[in-house]
Amino acid sequence: MDPATLFPLIAALAVAGALIGFLAGLFGIGGGAISVPVFYEVFQTLGHAPEVAMPMAVGTSLAVIIPTSIQSSRGHFKRGTVDMDLLRVWALPVLVGVAAGSVIARYAEPQVFQLVFAVVAAVNAAKLLSGGAGWRLRDSLPGKAVLRLYGAGVGLVSALMGIGGGAVSNLILTLHNVPIHRAVSTSAGVGVLIAIPGTLGYVAAGWGRTDLPADAVGFVSLATFALTIPTSLLTTRFGVALAHRLSRRRLELLFGLFLAAVCLRFLFAVLAG
């Protein structure tokens, strides 16, 4: 690849890494809503077909989420707003959901990933931007059986979307009257539960394919991972600090606008495809 193409790609990945880290801290998400579309465009620019570019974007995104979600959850944990009891209940069901999503990833068309991404982002954005009026299932979290079903769903959808689960778990928690700051903090912990098994699942899903780039381990691009991580780790703490300074409503509005933009991006991709 000539320098005129290579240098902009490296710069785009560095900027994406900074945004991923900041969003991980601010919204309790893994940053996949930024990294998946950026990685997808990068892989297509490098000449990979959509059926390779999309799962590789998702798998690499999950790999990047591992360190950013760990750093983000540690920052929120120090502020005492992470629901550790809920994370213990969700641990095994999330793992089951992630495993199922990783199996689907081997055979699904690119449009499946994009549609799942767009639908989840749209529902969450509508709730947050409307202020949550009428968007409540009940005034407290349900029993453990229902929580485990939620956990499996979070794992499945997150594995298909290449995210740390923050957008999905935030929606579930706030629908059950969990305050937005606590939902964001706990969702950061969900990212840790999802990212590690999710990455391993995508490595296995792409293992042995001959149409992947030389740096790829399954559906995970090591070069992309290496170029994104440094800036993401630098900015995570700034997102955590800002999240705890913002009012509840401002945090909801920012998150909602961000998810609406993500939804439009992937709807455009589906329609264009």
**Which tens digits make up the pLDDT trace of 50-65?**
888 888 988 898 898 8
pLDDT 10s digits, 127-162: 778 876 667 788 888 899 999 999 999 888 877 766
For 243-269, what is each residue's pLDDT tens digit? 778 887 887 788 788 878 878 877 776
Buried b (16+ CB within 10 A) or exposed e, 19-32: bbbbbbbbbbbbbb
Query: Cβ distance 184 to 83 under 8 Å?
Result: no
pLDDT bin (cut points 50, 70, 90) of residue 110 is: low
Q: So what's the pLDDT on residue 273?
A: 63
Write out pLDDT tens, residues 78-88: 888 888 999 99
pLDDT value at position 217?
94
Residues 6+ apart with CB under 8 A from 253: 128, 129
Is residue 26 over pLDDT 80? no
- Residue 105, pLDDT > 80, answer no
Does the pLDDT of residue 172 top 80, yes or no? yes
Tell me what pLDDT residue 6 has. Answer: 75
With 60 as the cut, is the pLDDT of residue 1 above it? Answer: no
Q: Where are the domains of the chain?
A: 3-272
Confidence check: pLDDT of 14 > 80: yes
pLDDT at 163: 66
Angle at 207 between CA 215 and CA 212, to 5 degrees: 40
Determine the average pLDDT of the residues in 172-195: 84
Q: Specify the pLDDT at position 132.
A: 66
Residue-wise pLDDT for 200-216, tens only, equals 988 988 898 888 988 99
* pLDDT exceeds 70 at position 30: no
**What is the pLDDT of the chain when averaged over all its residues?**
82
224, 13 Cβ separation under 8 angstroms: yes
Average pLDDT over residues 2-11: 75
Residue 75 has pLDDT above 70, yes or no: yes
* DSSP reduced 3-state for 221: strand
Q: Are 268 and 37 in contact (CB under 8 A)?
A: no
Decide if 82 contacts 76 (C-beta within 8 A).
yes
183 falls in which pLDDT band (50, 70, 90)? confident
